[in-house]
Amino acid sequence: MSPARAPRPPRLIFLLNSAQRRLQQWMAVLQSEAAASGEPAPTPAQAGLLFVLAKEDGATMGRVAQALDLAPSAVSGLVQRSEALDWVQRRVSPEDARTQQVWLRPAGRDQLAPLHAATARINTQLTAGFSEAELQTVARWLRHVQQLGGPTVPGETDEPR
């Protein structure tokens, strides 16, 4: 009789990449459906920007980049697109003329309630069928993966947005 083979470990890299791609596709569909009403609907990246500014209005461009885990050049374009929709405004910092701060405009603030509701619905679907303990394990593993590439964002939490 041959010895029992150990079970094959899950294909984590494939699963993570596939899940991330599918989540982006799903989020794009939801964003398109929201935009079908005729009003511009924030992309996931724009929603992230608005959430950051709701907590830290007047954040510097560097702080936004850090909070969203994006390259500064990506934040520049993101802020520029959001400014064109009058959701945010960039201003030179009064303390340092080389630094720009980003401020939430009333139209951007108006996006927050629907974004929070949409995020809650999405999180409900993402977590359906999993126990709290399972979700904590998934969150712990994802934080572990984030840390493999370098330090995490200071003050980062797992709280739903």
Full residue range of the structural domain in which residue 62 is found:
40-148
Residue 35 resides in a domain: no
HSE (CB half, 13 Å, CA atoms) of 75?
23
Q: Range with the lowest mean pLDDT among 23-32, 77-86, 149-158?
A: 149-158
**Chain-centroid distance, C-alpha 48:** 5
Residue 21 covered by a domain: no
- Note the pLDDT of residue 160: 38
* 15 assigned to some structural domain: no
Determine, yes or no, domain membership for 114. yes
- What's residue 36's pLDDT? 85
Does residue 154 have a pLDDT over 80? no
Band of pLDDT at residue 134, cut at 50, 70 and 90: very high
In this structure, is residue 17 part of a structural domain? no
pLDDT the model gives residue 1? 61
Please report which confidence band the pLDDT of residue 48 belongs to, taking 50, 70 and 90 as the band edges. very high
- For the segment 125-154, the average pLDDT, to the nearest whole number, is 87
In a domain, 85, yes or no: yes
Work out the mean pLDDT of the chain and round it to a whole number. Answer: 89
- The model's confidence at residue 158, banded by pLDDT at 50, 70 and 90, is very low
Give the long-range contacts of residues 17-26, CB within 8 A, separation 24 or more: none
Give the DSSP per-residue string, 62-114. Answer: HHHHHHHT--HHHHHHHHHHHHHTTSEEEEE-SS-TT-EEEEE-HHHHHHHHH
pLDDT band at 29 (very low <50, low <70, confident <90, very high): confident
Residue 28 has pLDDT above 50, yes or no: yes
Q: Look at the chain and report how many structural domains it folds into.
A: 1
Q: Tell me what pLDDT residue 2 has.
A: 66
Say how far apart CA 123 and CA 30 lie, in whole Å: 13
pLDDT at 150: 65
Distances (CA, A) of 90 to 9, 53, 66: 48, 12, 17
CATH of residue 66's domain is: 1.10.10.10
Strand order in the sheet with 100-104: 59-60, 100-104, 88-92
Average pLDDT over residues 118-137: 95
Q: How far apart are CA 83 and CA 97, in angstroms?
A: 20
On whether residue 27 sits in a domain, the answer given is no
Instruction: Tell me if 84 is assigned to some domain.
Output: yes
- 146 or 138: whose pLDDT is higher? 138
pTM of the model: 0.81
